[in-house]
Amino acid sequence: MSDTLYEIRDSVAVITLNRPEKLNSVTFSQLDELSRKLNEYEQDDAVRAILLTGTGRGFCTGADLGGGGGRADMTTPVGMKLSAHLYGRVCFTLANTEKPVVAAVNGVAAGSGCNLALSCDIIFAAKSARFIEIFVRRGMIPDGGGTYFLPRSIGLVRAKELFFSGDPVGADDALALGMINRVVEDDQLQAEAFAYAARLATGPTRSIGMIKRLLNRSFDTDLATQLDFEAAYQGLVTSTEDIQEGWTSFFEKREPRFKGR
């Protein structure tokens, strides 16, 4: 059985980390493969949303520090730097791909695994899920974009508390902090997260991608520049088939049937 499972259902690319005996800690080879698959999905018009999840009791507990995947240098400067770069590449793609990305956090999400979830657009968590920025407890530095994503989700002061302490955050507390979007019963997680991803997959994919870019940029620009970006994207979106369908369905008083083009 593969360490990572890939399938496409109802225009949703479902990615499942599949090392339950290791709480889905990931290897270099997994990260490299995941990066390539995400780039494939970015170019595939049949994929209109992505769902990321894991098997067993862990969503992902970060890099396999035990040297999994055939590398014995995980804890050397070279190994740690390579791991951070590979995680960063995956998290950057998840955060910036045009396709909306839903995370279904089925258990513990620790270290880089926590930041893997935070790089997704919408986060569903099982009631038993826990989020741990565990780096400080190992004398390490956060990677995977954690120092970028977490302050934007919960604010700088609370982000410092979680990074400095390395304390776990339960699903309900993560929801209250604004880290995640939904908490659901454990046995309903996969069904509800997939249903939401499938709903996004019926939307105007190009429009959603442009909205995503605008929101990502909004923290790093001023209002005047953001208004210019909005106007530019408003012009670009008029070239899509979906905006024509949106207008037609409005005048015909029916639900739109978007094709993601």
**pLDDT tens, position by position, 42-93:** 999 999 999 999 999 999 998 887 655 545 555 666 666 777 778 889 999 9
Per-residue pLDDT reduced to its tens digit, 23-50: 999 988 899 999 999 999 999 999 999 9
CA distance 60 to 18: 10
pLDDT band at 245 (very low <50, low <70, confident <90, very high): confident
| pTM (2 d.p.) | 0.91
In this structure, the dihedral spanned by the alpha carbons of residues 238, 239, 241 and 246, taken in order and rounded to 10 degrees, is: 0
The model's pLDDT over 202-226, given as tens digits with 9 standing for 90+, comes to 999 999 999 999 999 999 999 999 9
Per the prediction, the chain carries an average pLDDT of 92
| Residue 79: predicted pLDDT | 64
pLDDT at 202: 95
Share of the chain above pLDDT 90, in %: 78
Alpha-carbon separation of residue 200 from 23, 167, 193, 209, 236 (angstroms): 29, 33, 11, 11, 21
